[in-house]
Amino acid sequence: MAESKAAHDGAQYVTLGIDREIFAVDVDGVREILEARPVARVPYAPPFMLGMIDVRGRSVPVIDLRVKLGLPAAEVTEQTRIIVLDIENQGRTLTMGILADRVFEVTPLDDHDMEPPPDVGIHWRSDYIRGIGRRADSFVIIFDLPRLFSTEETALIVGGTDLPPAGL
């Protein structure tokens, strides 16, 4: 009985794979998980933005998470998924898709056992990371989604004209 109680104490996360790493996003922000599909390109978009997809009549920007993290883009495979997220950022809810190499499962991770991101030894910016958890014998890197998608970048992606220019 103690084991099932411990499983309920942790927050629920969707775990996903990028390259050889396991990442996680809070399940509360996940709207749906889709198989890879054609993406409409957007002219002058940042390199990490693949383009837009239609999700139930709504245009959703899709980010290549590999490119965003500084890794080379990869070919789409049968395991590639688009995770559609609702991200709270500066009082706004932004709906965005992230392209992941694969999605594993929904799993509990105990926030009390979470470690801060390391300052060295990682290939991407540590301010994108909320913490490091554990799943079985593997480390799970938990994204800080509002930081991963900064205000300026989000304005470029979603055409946020209500945001002030940088430096004001």
Give me the pLDDT at residue 151, please: 52
Strand order in the sheet with 11-18: 102-109, 11-18, 21-26, 138-143, 129-135
pLDDT for 162 beyond 50:
no
Give me the pLDDT at residue 154, please: 56
CATH 3.40.190.10 fits 2-156, yes or no: no
User: How many CA within 13 A on the CB side of residue 115?
Assistant: 9
For strand 92-100 and strand 102-109, is the pairing parallel, antiparallel, or unpaired?
unpaired
Q: 5 near 68, Cβ under 8 Å? A: no
pLDDT band (50, 70, 90) for residue 164: very low
Can you give the residue ranges of every domain in the chain?
2-156
Distance separating alpha carbons of residues 15 and 128, to the nearest angstrom: 16
102-121 per-position pLDDT tens digit: 999 999 987 767 887 766 55
Calculate mean pLDDT across residues 58-67: 93
Give me the pLDDT at residue 61, please: 95
Give me the pLDDT at residue 158, please: 55
Give me the pLDDT at residue 4, please: 41
Give me the pLDDT at residue 118, please: 67
Q: 52 near 40, Cβ under 8 Å? A: yes
More confident call, 160 vs 38: 38
Q: 136 near 105, Cβ under 8 Å? A: no
